[in-house]
Amino acid sequence: MNDLDLQFDAQISNESAACLPAQITYPLGTDALAADVLQSVANVVNFRARWNNDVAEWRAGKFYKHLPREAIREFESLAAPYRCRQSKVLLSEGESPSMVLFLLEGKVKVTLNSVDGRRLILGMAGPGDILGLAAVLSGLPYQISAEAQFPCQLTSMPRPAFLDFLVRYPIAGQNVGLQLSQEYIQACNQLCTLGIRVTSGTRLARLLLKWCEGGSKTNSGMRIKCSLTHAEIGECIGMSRETVSRTLSDFKLRELVEQRGSTMVISSIQALETYADRNCA
């Protein structure tokens, strides 16, 4: 979304969403700048129509839990919307925390660099998650980097405006605390997997079991979508790409995992749990 999108954002009402199509066709000879302006208006209208959708996926996120209607309206009026391309770096480790990002659509890879330069993938943020939360609250530099795994739609809010919002709406502060607590527990569990002496099979099995929590049940088992490469999977659990590939092949031979492109099917979660527990050593 360009500067014109943001400029017109403040001038267009939500009710006008039905007045403009998603893509405008212009007559021959239409001035290029005028066409860009009209398309920017259409982009903002369509974004606002989705932004105010009560059943949107991001509305089910932790931040929105029990927020009063007036708080939701104010938050969504303060946040500046924009789109980003795949692989766009949204936050960089070590930078001063100037804003928080609220993810509406897409997936964002959250990473951390070790002292020896190796990258650790902490997790994947999805719709409804807030990026840069701990740094914005503490005032310390971002501890993580965030990179768009797919094209994403987000909103950003400057740090002072976000902190002021939390003061005026205590329930939002409680929701933020809940998200930070869950992130802390997730980090502790991941460090246990990395720090405790376990086999590569156990590490990968535990990661797949964690992904199953957000999977879809099918007749053939639990289906999970994985857009990560083998090298990136290794960055989640401290393994090399070759070890991940070899371990996945072993899982397939044992019929623990079936893979179809970017989709994995876990036929028996119980069998995968048994494998993970038996191979702790």
Beta partners for 48? none
Is 123 or 89 the better-scoring residue by pLDDT? 89
pLDDT of 18 above 50: no
pLDDT tens digits, 26-51 = 454 456 556 555 555 555 555 555 55
Mean pLDDT score, 10-35: 44
Delimit the CATH 2.60.120.10 region(s) of the chain: 54-190
- Which regions of the chain carry the CATH code 1.10.10.10? 197-278
- Token pair belonging to 201: 């099979």
CB 276 within 8 A of CB 233: no
3 state DSSP class of 259: strand
In this structure, how many other beta carbons lie within 10 angstroms of the beta carbon of residue 250?
A: 15
Residue matched to tokens 């990179």: 147
Longest dimension (CA), the chain: 73
Residue that the structure tokens 């020896």 belong to = 116
Taking domain 197-278, whether its CATH number is 3.90.1570.30 is answered by no
8 A C-beta contact, residue 266 and residue 257: yes
**Average pLDDT of the segment spanning 209-226:** 88
Q: What is the mean pLDDT of the chain?
A: 79
CATH topology for the 54-190 domain: Jelly Rolls (2.60.120)
Tokens 């980003």 correspond to what residue?
84
Give SS3 for 47.
Answer: helix
Q: 186 falls in which pLDDT band (50, 70, 90)?
A: confident
At 275 the pLDDT is 86
Q: Please list the residues that pair with 155 across neighbouring strands.
A: 81, 102
Using CA atoms, how far apart are residues 68 and 65, in angstroms rounded to an integer? 9
- Number of Cβ within a 10 Å radius of residue 99: 20
Strands (E), 126-203: 130-131, 145-148, 152-158
Read off the pLDDT of residues 53-69 as tens digits, 9 standing for 90 and up.
566 677 767 788 888 98
- Report how far residue 233's alpha carbon sits from residue 135's, in angstroms, rounded to the nearest whole number: 26
pLDDT (tens digit per residue) in 64-101: 888 898 998 899 888 888 899 999 999 999 999 999 99
